[in-house]
Structure 1
Amino acid sequence: MKPELRKAWDHQVLVGDGAMGTFLYQMGFPVGISYEELNLTSPEVIRDVHRRYVEAGTQILETNTFSANYDKLSKYGLESKVEEINRAGVRIAKEVAGPNGYVVGAIGSIRGGKRTNISTSELKQYFEQQITALLTEGVDGILLETFYDVEELYLALSNVRRLSDLPVICQFAVEDLGRTLDGYTMPEAFRLLQQEGADVIGFNCRTGPNGIMGALRTLEGQLSVPVSVYPNAGVADYVDGEYRYGATPEYFGQMALKFADMGARIIGGCCGTTPAHIAEIASALKGYVPQPISYEPVPVQPPVVIHEQLAEDTSVSKTPNIVDLVKQRHTVIVELDPPRDLDIVKFMKGAQALKDAGADALTLADNSLAVTRMSNMALGHLVQAQTGLRPLVHIACRDRNLIGTQSHMMGFDALGIDHVLAVTGDPARFGDLPGSSSVYDLTSFEIIRMIKQLNDGIAFSGQPLKQKAKFVVGAAFNPHGKHLHKAVARLERKIAAGADYIMTQPVYDPELICAMKEATKHLEIPIFVGIMPLASGRNAEYLHNEVPGIQLSDDVRTVWLGSKELRAELWA
C-alpha cells in the first residue's frame, strides 16, 4: 500500500509529470479550444497522455483540470460543466495512476497575472466550486499552480483548507529574481502560505530550469517547507507557424539532480516538456537519497523598497507637481489633441499659445475615441523641450499589453514626463481602424496600481528596478449617469489603487457641479472639473448624443439650439 503523500516526499524525491496543454498542441490539437473539455469528449486522448507520463516514470499525476473553473470555461460556453469536467479529469488520472501512483487535482490561477475585474467573492466561489468537484472524486492532494501573486494563491489555499486537510502544493510563476507580481520576496511569500497550511511550495512555468534555479537561490538557507519545481522546457520559439521549446530531455535530467541537491522534493515539467523529459528526470533520480533538510521558519516582513532614491536628481524640474500646485493656487490644465497628420506645426503653435496664456499643464489624449493620432509621448517630449509647458499624457489600457505598457511608462520616465492620466480607452472597433484589436490587459484600476508600483522601484513582473519612477497618476471621473453615488464609489476605488488627482468628463450643468462637490467632499485629492467649449449647435448635439461620457443639460442645449424651427434649420 502506498504511503500517504506527505510521508512519501519526506524520504524521497518524487517525480511529477510534464506538460498537458503544450503536449496536446504537439499532438495536433489546436490553440483556442478547451483542452479540459477533452475529459468529456475525448477521454481516451487524456488517458493516453497520462499513460505516457506514467511509463516515463511519473509518480504524481496532475489532473487535466488546470483551467477547469467557471471563469475560464465560460469563454467556451462550458460554465455549466465545471463539476462534470473536473470529476472526469480525476477519474481518468486515477485509472492510469493505479494503486501505487498519486493523483493531485490541478487548479490554475484565474487571474493569470492580469489584474482583472473579478471580485474576491467571485474568486472564492469559482475556487470552491472546482475544489469541491476534485475532492468529491478522491484526489490524493491539491496542486495550486502558475500563480503570479500572493493574494490570489493565498485565497485559493484558504479555500482548500476550509474544505479539506489533504496535502496542498502551491506553486508560483516567477522569474529568477524571485519576487511575486505583488512585490513579495519568496521568503515572505513562503512564510505566509506556510502559515495558511501549504505543505509544499515551489515554482512552475514562466521560465526554464535556469530561471527557477535563480528563484530557488533566493531561498538558500531560508526554506520553511519542502519545495517543488516544474520548469518550462526553456523559452518558446515561434518557427514556421509552430511553438517550439529548446531545452532537451538530457538537460532536464542534469538539472533534476541540482534541484534535488537544493532541497526539491517534487520535480516535474511544465510548458514544452514531454514524456522524454520526465523519463530523464526519473532516470537521474533513480536511487537518489535526499539529505534531510532543516526547515527554518522565516519571519515575515512587509514588502520592502529595494532601492533608495538618489539624494539629488538634477534632471527633474523643481516646479511643484500638479497636486502640490493646487494647494498653492487655482490651477488650469488644458487638453490639446495630437494631430491626425504628420504636420505638427499648428499643434506646437497651439501649445506655445497655451503656455503664454498661463496654462499649468497640457494634457494629451492617447488616441481618444479610438481614432489614430500622433504619439502623445513624442509630442509631450517636444512640448516640454520647446515650450517648457508640463505635458500630462493619457495612458489607455486599450492599445498595449502588460509588456508594452511597462515599456511605455519606462520611456516616459526616461524623457522626464511624470504626469499621466490612466484611462480605459474607447474600444478599437469604434475608431478609424475598426479591424484593430483592443488589448485591455489592464483595467483603469489596475494600470493605476501598476504605475504606482514603478514608483516603489518594482516592475510589473515583481522584479526590483535600479531606481524609482516619480509618476503623478490621475484618474478619470464620469459624473454623468442616473446614480452619482455609484460613480463616486468607483472613483474611491481608483483612489484606493493610488490615484493622485482626478479629471472629470466635461460638465455643463451647474447643479451637477454642486452635487459633485457635495458627493466628493470627503476625498482628499484634487478634482479638476472638465469644461469643454461648444463650437456650434451641431457640435453640441454631436457631443450630447454620440460621444461617450458627455451629456449636456437641457438648458445648455436650449441656448444653442433655441426653438424647434431653429433646430430644424441648423440640421437642414
Structure 2
Amino acid sequence: MKYRHALPQLRGQKMMTDGGLETVLVFKEGIDLPLFAAFKALETEAGIEAVTRYFDQMANIAVETGRGFIMDTPTWRASTKWGGELGLSAAELKEIHREAIASFIKLREQYETPQSPFVINGLVGPHGDGYAPESELSIEEAQVYYSEQVQWFSELGADMVSGMTITSISEGIGIVKAAQAVNIPSVVSFTVETDGRLPSGEGLAQAVNAVDRATSGAAAYYMINCAHPDHFLDVISDGSDWLKRVGGLRANASRLSHAELDRAEELDDGNPQELGQLYRRVAELLPNLNVVGGCCGTDHRHIREICAALDSV
C-alpha cells in the first residue's frame, strides 16, 4: 500500500478531498440515494457515469493546483447496519468496498503525479443519523461496530480510514481503536451544530482531547465536516494547543442547520467564492490545515474557489 505508513499530508503536502458527492448525485444528477447511500448510484450505468465524471473533475483540480488528492470511498453508509436496511449482506457490502478501492487504484494510475500524490481513504459514517443521532454507542460498542469496515479497508488496500460526520466522542474513540488493531492510519472528522458543539453536546476541544487521551494520540489528525465555517469559527479562535491536531476541513456550502438541511427540498449551494474566502480565515486559525474539501452542497466550483483562495495567501 503506497502511503500506508507515510501519508503525504503528514509530511506537509497540501491535499484536497472531493465535495458533497451525495448532494451532487441527488440534486444535480437526479439520482435517488436511499438512506443517502452514495454507493447505490453505482448500480446503474447513469450512476456510474455520474460518479466517474465527478471524481475525474476532482482529480483534474488536484493536478491543476498541485495538490494531492484524498479519494474518499463512497462507503459512508456501507456498514452492516445501514447496508442491512438496504437488504445487503456483509459479503455484498465487502464487495462494494473492494470495487470502490479498485476504481480508485485506476484513478490514481490515470492522474497521479509526483506533485499530486493520490491517497485512498476508506470512509465510515456514524452509527446513527449524522444530522440527528438517536442514540450513542459506548466506546466498546463503537469499536466493534467500526471494526468490520476498517478490517475490510485494511485487507483490500486502502491507505487510511476516516470516520466522517462523527457525532460523539465515544464513536471517535471506537474508530481509532479499530484502526489501531489492524495498523492502519485513522482520522476522525467531527460534525458540529450551529453552536459549534457536537450533536452529542460536547465541544470540539473536549472531543479532540478526549479521543487523544483514550488512544494515546493514535489518530493521524482530526477534521471538521458537515458544518458551515460560521458555525465553528468562534470555537477555533482561541489559539489553544488542540487546534494543532485539526488537519482537515470539509465544510458545508450552506449556513442552514442540520435540521433545516434535513427538511430542504432544494439544494442550498451557497456562494462558492465566499466559501473560499472563509477557508482562508479558517487556515489562519488552524496551523496544520493541510486537507481541504467540501461537504453538503459543494461541488467542483467550491473546491476550485477554496484552492484558489488558499493559494493566494
Larger radius of gyration: 1
Q: Is the 8 A contact 1:83 1:129 kept in 2?
A: no
Deviation at 1:224, TM superposition (A): 4.5
Cα distance in 1, alignment partners of residues 29 and 208 from structure 2: 36
Q: Is the 8 A contact 2:33 2:41 kept in 1?
A: no
Cross-structure match for 1:468: none
Deviation readout 1:512-567 (Å, 9 max, x if unpaired): xxxxxxxxxxxxxxxxxxxxxxxxxxxxxxxxxxxxxxxxxxxxxxxxxxxxxxxx
The yes-or-no answer on 1:265 pairing with 2:267 is: no
Q: Which amino acid in 2 is paired with 1:199?
A: A
Cα distance in 1, alignment partners of residues 121 and 251 from structure 2: 18
**37 and 123 in structure 1: CA distance in 2 versus 1, 3 angstrom threshold:** farther
Cross-structure match for 1:277: 302
1:247 is aligned, of 249, 252, 270, to 270
Cross-structure match for 1:340: none
Matches within 5 A, 1:228-247: 228-235=248-255, 242-247=265-270
The yes-or-no answer on 1:198 pairing with 2:219 is: yes
Q: Is the 8 A contact 2:19 2:298 kept in 1?
A: yes
**279 and 151 in structure 1: CA distance in 2 versus 1, 3 angstrom threshold:** same
**160 and 94 in structure 1: CA distance in 2 versus 1, 3 angstrom threshold:** same
Cross-structure match for 2:202: 184
Cα distance in 2, alignment partners of residues 6 and 257 from structure 1: 24
Deviation readout 1:197-222 (Å, 9 max, x if unpaired): 111112100x2121132332256454
Cross-structure match for 2:120: 103
TM-score (norm 1): 0.45
Gaps of 5+ in 2: 63-67
- Which is helix-richer, 1 or 2? 2
Q: Count residues with an aligned counterpart.
A: 283
Deviation at 1:72, TM superposition (A): 0.6
Q: CA RMSD in A?
A: 2.8
Cα distance in 2, alignment partners of residues 200 and 221 from structure 1: 13
The yes-or-no answer on 1:91 pairing with 2:93 is: no
Cα distance in 2, alignment partners of residues 255 and 5 from structure 1: 30
The yes-or-no answer on 1:53 pairing with 2:73 is: no
Q: Which amino acid in 2 is paired with 1:67?
A: R
Cα distance in 1, alignment partners of residues 101 and 234 from structure 2: 33
Q: Is the 8 A contact 1:176 1:211 kept in 2?
A: yes
Cross-structure match for 1:428: none
Cα distance in 2, alignment partners of residues 50 and 28 from structure 1: 17
Secondary structure, counterpart of 1:223 in structure 2: helix
Cross-structure match for 1:210: 230
Deviation at 1:88, TM superposition (A): 1.4
Q: Is the 8 A contact 1:194 1:225 kept in 2?
A: no
Cα distance in 2, alignment partners of residues 122 and 192 from structure 1: 17
Deviation readout 1:298-357 (Å, 9 max, x if unpaired): xxxxxxxxxxxxxxxxxxxxxxxxxxxxxxxxxxxxxxxxxxxxxxxxxxxxxxxxxxxx
Matches within 5 A, 1:504-515: none
1:76 is aligned, of 82, 86, 91, to 86
Deviation at 1:176, TM superposition (A): 5.2
Cα distance in 2, alignment partners of residues 5 and 267 from structure 1: 19
Structure number with greater CO (CA < 8 Å, separation at least 6) is 2
Deviation readout 1:38-82 (Å, 9 max, x if unpaired): 345554432222111112226212111111100111111013322
Q: Which amino acid in 2 is paired with 1:11?
A: G
Cross-structure match for 1:158: 177
Q: Is the 8 A contact 1:199 1:226 kept in 2?
A: no
The yes-or-no answer on 1:142 pairing with 2:161 is: yes
Secondary structure, counterpart of 2:277 in structure 1: helix
**178 and 218 in structure 1: CA distance in 2 versus 1, 3 angstrom threshold:** farther
Secondary structure, counterpart of 1:244 in structure 2: coil
**70 and 120 in structure 1: CA distance in 2 versus 1, 3 angstrom threshold:** farther
Matches within 5 A, 1:342-381: none
Gaps of 5+ in 1: 289-572
**117 and 171 in structure 1: CA distance in 2 versus 1, 3 angstrom threshold:** closer
Secondary structure, counterpart of 2:164 in structure 1: strand
Cα distance in 1, alignment partners of residues 188 and 137 from structure 2: 21
Cross-structure match for 2:34: 32
Q: Is the 8 A contact 1:13 1:285 kept in 2?
A: no
Cα distance in 1, alignment partners of residues 291 and 209 from structure 2: 19
Q: Is the 8 A contact 1:39 1:88 kept in 2?
A: no
Q: Is the 8 A contact 1:228 1:267 kept in 2?
A: yes
Q: Which amino acid in 1 is paired with 2:124?
A: I
Cα distance in 1, alignment partners of residues 192 and 243 from structure 2: 17
Cα distance in 2, alignment partners of residues 125 and 248 from structure 1: 40
Deviation at 1:285, TM superposition (A): 2.7
Matches within 5 A, 1:289-304: none
Secondary structure, counterpart of 2:232 in structure 1: helix
